[in-house]
Each structure stands twice: as structure tokens, then as C-alpha cells.
Amino acid sequence: MSTSTHKSSSGEVQQAIMQGAITREYRADAQQVIQRLNSLRSTEIMSYLQYMQHQYMAVSLLSPAMKSEFQTHATQELDHANRLAERIQQLGGVPIYDPKEIAAKAANVGIAPEQGTTLTEMVVEDLMLERQQIEAYTTLIREIGDQDFVTRHMLIGILAETEKHANELADYLKRST
């Protein structure tokens, strides 16, 4: 493989290969962004586990609508975790895959899967978790500002879905209590 062209020096090509999509116009601290994304991803994995648990426990005869709602949310939480992992990799990082480390990172921001004894308790737990995530995403989006547009765009997409979940859960609780 040739490492230089008539336009770029071999040093420039080497740097381009090392940095991929990161150019001098990238203004964020990639290492810091990677850490924050890994932290958010750990909360998405906890959210996935919590929704799946609620899905198992919401017996289909008792609440078929909520059972499928929990399932739908669980699938979307996993998708959020996957989108964060892809971005972590693109920025030169490694998505955390040690379950203990994932649990510790989520616990650091006060998140662990919970399973209440009633359907209402479970929905409240999900609402509280979604609201914590809304806060965390909003904070990071504001911090990133115009320093990393692609990460920002991805975070806004996840935030929109998270807000939708929170609204759905709050609407359910308004109707049922």
C-alpha cells in the first residue's frame, strides 16, 4: 500500500489513517466524549434490563398493552446503546463490555434496574429512569455545543425518543391514578 500521494506528504497520510474522521475542525476532547458516551450507554443497558424485567412480570392477561409497551421500549433502549457504541468506536474508543464495569458506571449516576411489585410501581420506576436520562442527555448536548456535530445529532435523536417514552409513561400514570 502506498502511503503518500502527490498531494499529501506521507506524514499527512499517516495522520489521516490514524485519525480517520477526526480533523482539526473537530473541537471536542474525543477521550472525554468517549467516557461520557460510555456512561450514558451503561444507563441504556440498565434501562433495557429494567424494561425487559417489567415485560416478563407484566403478565399478558393482566396488562397486554403494557407488556408490549415495555417490550417496545426495551428494544429502543438497546438500540440507543448500540448507537452510542458505534459512535464510541468511531471516535477511537472502546465500548465497555465488562458487565461489572457497566453496572458500576450506571451506579455512579444513580441508576440500577428496579422491579416494583405492581404495574404502577414499575411504570413509575421507568418514568424516573427516563427522566434521569433526559437530564443527562440534555446536559451533554449543551456541553458539546458545536464542538462535535455528529455526536450531538445522535444524542438529540436519542433524547427525542427518551422524551417520548417519558411522556407515554406519564400519560399512562395520569390515566391510571
Nearest Cα residue to 144 out of 21, 36, 22: 36
What is the per-residue binding string for Fe ion in 123-152, x denoting contact by CB under 5 A? ------------------------------
Q: Which of 36, 54, 80, 152 binds Fe ion (CB under 5 A)?
A: 80
Binding region for Fe ion (CB under 5 A) out of 8-16, 55-63, 76-84, 111-119: 76-84
The distance from CA 9 to its chain's CA centroid, rounded to whole angstroms, is 39
70, 51 in Cβ contact below 8 A? Answer: yes
Residue closer to Fe ion by CB (options 17, 156) is: 156
For residue 18, which amino acid is it? M
Residue closer to Fe ion by CB (options 44, 148) is: 44
Rounded CA separation 148/137 (Å): 14
Binding site for Fe ion (CB under 5 A): 44, 77, 80
